[in-house]
A and B are shown apart, each in its own frame.
Chain A
Amino acid sequence: MKHAKKIVTVCGAVVMAWSAGIAIAGVTKPGDVKFDDTKVTAPLTNEAGDAAKGKLLFSNRKKGNCLACHVNKDLADKPFHGEIGPPLDGVASRYSASEMRGILINAKVALSDETIMPGFYMVNTGARVAKKFKGKTILSAQQIEDILAYLQTLKE
């Protein structure tokens, strides 16, 4: 049953990508992401997220750098867990995958307009974006899915 659901949502993403006329097959562009309130139900790519890769992205300072702001006991071997956001231990027991996808893509929509948490898959960010990062998202669509797969392993 779970499996079937996944196929359906993957198909959804592909159809969305098609209708938006996107070059990379099955990848939703940042501007085409559809929020259902705070959730994003459709995966951003048609390749399943890789939790092992997601774990690396979570602590990589140039990628997710989630550890900069969140304590995560699963990464206790890594020093310096930030305390700006809530600890993410057991986060998958508190949020659904669709909710977490929304948070990762654009926490300003999913959590609060005021949040310090960056939007990892959006291009309309702050003013004066440095040239190197202009028009780019912090993470790629696949990286979002990878981190999401990792977050889903963080159960209470």
Chain B
Amino acid sequence: MRGLIKAAVVFALAAGGFANFGPVNAGEDLPAGVTVVKAPAAKGGPLAEILSGWGSRSKSTQQLQQDDFENPGYLWVDKGETLWNTVDGKAGKSCATCHDDASVSMKGVGAAMPKWDAKLGRPMTLEQRVNACRTDNMEAKEWKWESDQMLSMTAYVKNQSRGMPVNVQADGPMEPWVKRGKELYYTRVGQLNMSCANCHEANYGKFIRADYLSQGQSNGFPTYRLKWQKVGSLHRRFKGCMKNIRAKPYKRGSDEFVAMEIYLAQRGKGLQVESPAVRN
């Protein structure tokens, strides 16, 4: 924080006002629908406290997430609601045919993703769950991971859990997945030879050139990113970070990224779902 104040003074002008650091859980300075952006860490964990990426953004970016009418991510949430009620596929069903009112049936679902699927014997992310419903129950075609439809649907479903605590299962059959995700998190990759932890554990709260490093938490995804000019998936973000360190990224939906998603959710326990968050 001390280094930060100095940095803020030096760089605030150039960066267009990184004026607001060190989030507190009080007052108006919180994202819409959320009461916690800073949580105590579990004992013995790698982090002193758990921080949402929201607190690492500039005031102007934060403001976009403080008002649902300003938040551009809501364009996708709204499209998701339309898709929820749209019949698609040979079975002649929509999501609503089986699940009815999403604000009731989907409450808490997004907060607990990825979930263990006993039948398949593996965890499923929200994207994978949506596609399983589409192929198995609706006899409709799968949506591509980063398609507008999938982003809209995941933003809509996750939004039904907004403000609820991240609540992923980490024990039982999920244990080896958490372990694998952790391994990947600490593995140095790419020509720059860095691990996720190098930036998001050892150096969060510091500037890396013009970027102010957060803990790289996942609670805001899918997230509206100003740089992307649209909503993007968590796996897209993973790919971007890997590319930046000149590594060959894993594929969206790969077991590696699913494991990392589970590990990150577990790492971020204590935070609340913010989807759709706004980041720069």
Binding site for B on A (CB under 8 A): 61, 65, 67-69, 79-84, 108, 116, 118-119, 125-133, 136, 138
B206 interfacial by beta-carbon distance below 8 Å: yes
Measured CB to CB, the closest approach of chain B to A55, in angstroms, equals: 17
How many chain B residues have a CB neighbour from A under 8 Å? 29
CB-contact partner of B15 in A61, A80, A84, A130, under 8 A: A80
Which of B7, B187, B193 touches A119 (beta carbons < 8 Å)?
B193
**B109 interface residue (CB < 8 Å to A):** no
Taken together as a complex, chains A and B put the C-alpha atoms of A138 and B193 apart, in Å, by: 11
Partner of B247, one of A68, A69, A116, A126: A126
Contact between B207 and A118, CB atoms less than 8 A apart = no
Picked from B7, B187, B190, B203, the residue with its CB within 8 Å of the CB of A125 is B190
Known: A80-B209, A126-B247. A138 touches B194 (CB 8 A): no
Asked if A126 and B243 sit within 8 Å, CB to CB, the answer is: no
Neighbour of A79 across the interface among B3, B15, B189, B246, CB < 8 A: B15
Q: Are B194 and A116 in contact (CB under 8 A)?
A: yes
Which of these, B11, B209, B242, contacts A68 with CB under 8 Å? B209
> For the complex, what is the distance from the CA of A85 to the CA of B4, rounded to whole Å?
14
24 contacts between A and B (CB under 8 A): A61-B209, A68-B208, A69-B208, A79-B14, A80-B210, A81-B10, A82-B208, A83-B7, A83-B207, A108-B193, A116-B199, A118-B192, A125-B192, A126-B245, A126-B247, A127-B188, A127-B189, A128-B189, A128-B242, A129-B189, A130-B191, A130-B248, A136-B191, A138-B192
Interface of A is mostly: loop
A118 to B192, CA, bound (A): 5
Interface string of B173-211 (1 = CB under 8 A from A): 000000000000001111111100011001100111110
Given contacts A80-B15, A130-B243, contact A116 B190 (CB under 8 A): no
Whole-angstrom distance between the alpha carbons of A68 and B187 in the complex? 22
CA distance A119 to B191 in the complex (A): 9
Give chain B's interface residues, CB within 8 Å of chain A.
3, 7, 10-11, 14-15, 187-194, 198-199, 202-203, 206-210, 242-243, 245-248
Q: Which residues of B contact A108 (CB under 8 A)?
A: 193
In this complex, what residue of A is CB-closest to B206?
A83
Contacts of A136 in B (CB 8 A): 191
B10: min CB distance to chain A, Å = 7
A84 and B247 contact, CB distance less than 8 A: no
A125 to B207, Cβ gap below 8 A?
Answer: no
Q: CB distance B208 to A125 under 8 Å?
A: no
Complex: A132 Cα to B15 Cα, angstroms? 31
Chain A neighbourhood of B209, CB < 8 A: 61, 65, 67-69, 80-82
